[in-house]
A and B are shown apart, each in its own frame.
Chain A
Amino acid sequence: MADKPLVVASLADHELYVKIVEEHFRVVWWEDYIKGPEKYNNDIQGILVDAYGRLKRVDGSLLDHLPNLKIVSTLSVGTDHLDLELLFKRGIKVSRVPDVSSDCVADWGITLLVGMARRIVEGVDSAKNPATPFDFNIMGKKITGSTIGVVGFGRIGYKIAERAYGFSMKVLYYDVFRRSEEEEKKIGATYYSSVDEMLPHCDFVILIVPLLPTTRGMIGKKQFELMKNSAILVNVARAQVIDQDALVEALKNKTIRSAAIDVTYPEPLPDDHPLRFLDNIIITPHMGANSEESRRGVVVAGVKSCIAGVKGEPIPNEMLQSMMY
């Protein structure tokens, strides 16, 4: 037991994590750590963190107390909750899991798109809820042959486009980087260097960018006005990519038809938040990566990186300073 290195872990409370983590480490879980950090601070060599746990940001307020910290391993794609500059400055290693959950998140992005388009939540309510009449005429939005604008054409964005192409959708995309001709041709994708230019052509818009200074609030009042009245917006990125208040207005005024969002700020929304009461929105609890295989795979990969970091070995999925946008 004394052989195993000590890590502090702030993770969603789920049995999947516990077994895999405790196999390789002595773990102080965040809820216990904050009760008496002095007991642990000098011994902690690794931090395991994800998007769901109580520790919302890894920055100086924690790092200043951990003199022997070697690695921060985030069990997620995103790194916007880490103070990367500070970590690199202090020579602390960083790892994330950029690819294990890509298919899973892409599947979820499309699930939200088709689910909103065809109004499945209303359909289920109509058929199952005795308070709602059984309605044969719930009309949805055409999917086949429509146009999708993918904002962010990384691993997940491209996979979303592949699935959209399977529905014979016309694929448009925006990204700071343009894909190869071959990659574009495979799914008939058309590149746009400007989001604003792409939006008016889209029946569906899906956001799948990392949260960066350049993407924060990139979808706001102006963008909603550029979108078709009949358009549906899907967000499987980070909540702050959208100006959330502008989203509320756009949905209320039917500037766009509807939206499906997997992320909000805060998470969860307060009970009285207007988004809860609109009938043209789907909100889901940050579940893009939520298949057993994907979540397990992310934990296994993250733990592997953490072990390597603690041992001073080459770190799989290391996040280097050069990788920051």
Chain B
Amino acid sequence: MGLEKLLTCPSIRAGEKYRASQEMASLEDKPMVLTSHVDELNAYPQIFVPVIKKYFRIVWWADFENDQERYANEIQGILVNGGLPKITSELLDTLPNLKIVSTLGVGTDHLDLQLLKSRGIKVSSVPDVSSDCVADWGMTLLVAAARKLPEAMKSATDTATPFNYNILGKKITGSTLGIVGLGRIGYRIAERALGFKMRVLYNDITRRPEKEAALSLEYYSSLDKLLPNSDFIITVVPLTPQTHGMMGREQFKLMKKSAIFINIARAPVVQQDELVEALQSRTIQAAVLDVTSPEPLPPHHPLLHMPNVIITPHMGANSLESRRGVVEAGCESCTAAIQGKAIPREVVL
């Protein structure tokens, strides 16, 4: 029975009406935010909706599109998940009371920050909650590719594939890892690599002497000098004009023929067609991509059909704790902006 009906129905006991009215009031108190949609595969899974409902009344995109007039003035925040909803000037025009756009993730490359700045709208992201989780994933991809785990699984479980004792992988212990981008996640990857007694090199636009000292890392100011020395290369940079396309034909040529390349950053960091060429010509041994252009790749894309390529569906932050934590953090930032308070994890424009 809907809340409104319950409150007006004479036969419902007073206690229940009280509880219902409390719930309705608490709903009415909560500010309204706009967000995309629920989809178990492609958007929010249902399990995270209660997290958002703790903070907000939710307007789903489909409902907003159908009835903008009803919601437009009340919407004070937008939660962006998986790049949706897309923030355009047309959208902003319809939302006079919008205070903040909170993106539920690390990256802000999908947001027109200049546009938001020009409209005086705050922006927040979640750069830190998922760092361990993504670092765990980076290492997982590295070791799985090195030791050919997907191939191994197939050999042992797929009756059409012969059981093969001789699937030989690449040595991990004592090998050299080159980390491109030593931010929160890159640093944590270094920590894990050291547990495997790997030698760790890094390239970053900023040298980080304390981090270097703490973990005995070797700094390379030039990416091109880092590449030939590495058995594994992992890119963990934000997508910026400087990092766009930073890994291309020349870089793959500089890498060892036996090297494995892993990308857990953003797809455009890699010149994808040139990666395909490098793999086909055995310029490098193998590649692992958690991010592709587009996502997903079309079914006939060569990367989907190469045995020395691992593709995964953008799952770096995918532990329950991490994903839930990211949603919570995003909601906290959004709430703070709506209340006019200092915004945790604000993206300074």
| A126 touching B313, Cβ below 8 Å | yes
Known contacts A166-B196, A285-B156: A121-B150 contact under CB 8 Å: yes
For A110, the chain B residues whose CB sits under 8 A away are 143, 196
CB distance from B276 to the nearest CB of A (A): 15
The 8 Å CB contact of B163, one of A103, A123, A133, A285, is A285
For A108, the chain B residues whose CB sits under 8 A away are 147
CB distance from B269 to the nearest CB of A (A): 18
The 8 Å CB contact of A134, one of B41, B43, B135, B169, is B41
Binary contact track B140-170/A, C-beta < 8 Å → 1, others 0: 1101101101101101110100011111111
| B318 touching A282, Cβ below 8 Å | no
Binary contact track A283-307/B, C-beta < 8 Å → 1, others 0: 1111100111111000000000000
The 8 Å CB contact of A118, one of B40, B140, B321, is B140
Q: Which of B144, B155, B156, B164 counts the most A-chain CB atoms under 10 A from its CB?
A: B156
| B310 touching A124, Cβ below 8 Å | yes
The 8 Å CB contact of B141, one of A120, A267, A283, is A120
Known contacts A12-B165, A138-B318, A286-B165: A294-B171 contact under CB 8 Å: yes
| B195 touching A284, Cβ below 8 Å | no
Residue A325 interfacial (CB < 8 Å): no
Size of interface on A: residues with Cβ below 8 Å to B: 62
> Nearest chain-B residue to A53 (Cβ)?
B165
Within 8 A of B (CB), among A110-130: 110-112, 114-115, 117-118, 120-121, 123-124, 126-128, 130
| A121 touching B153, Cβ below 8 Å | yes
Residue A139 interfacial (CB < 8 Å): yes
The 8 Å CB contact of B171, one of A13, A137, A291, is A291
Residue B216 interfacial (CB < 8 Å): no
Residue A136 interfacial (CB < 8 Å): yes
| A285 touching B318, Cβ below 8 Å | no
CB distance from B242 to the nearest CB of A (A): 27
CA distance A124 to B140 in the complex (A): 12
Residue A39 interfacial (CB < 8 Å): no
Contact stretch, chosen from A40-48, A78-86, A142-150: A142-150
A-B contact pairs, 20 of them (CB 8 A): A13-B166, A103-B197, A107-B147, A121-B149, A133-B41, A136-B82, A138-B315, A140-B318, A140-B319, A145-B132, A163-B195, A164-B195, A166-B196, A282-B153, A284-B152, A285-B164, A287-B169, A290-B169, A292-B168, A294-B171
- B residues neighboring A (CB under 8 Å): 40-43, 45, 82, 132-133, 135-137, 139-141, 143-144, 146-147, 149-150, 152-153, 155-157, 159, 163-174, 188, 191-197, 295-297, 299, 304, 310-315, 318-323
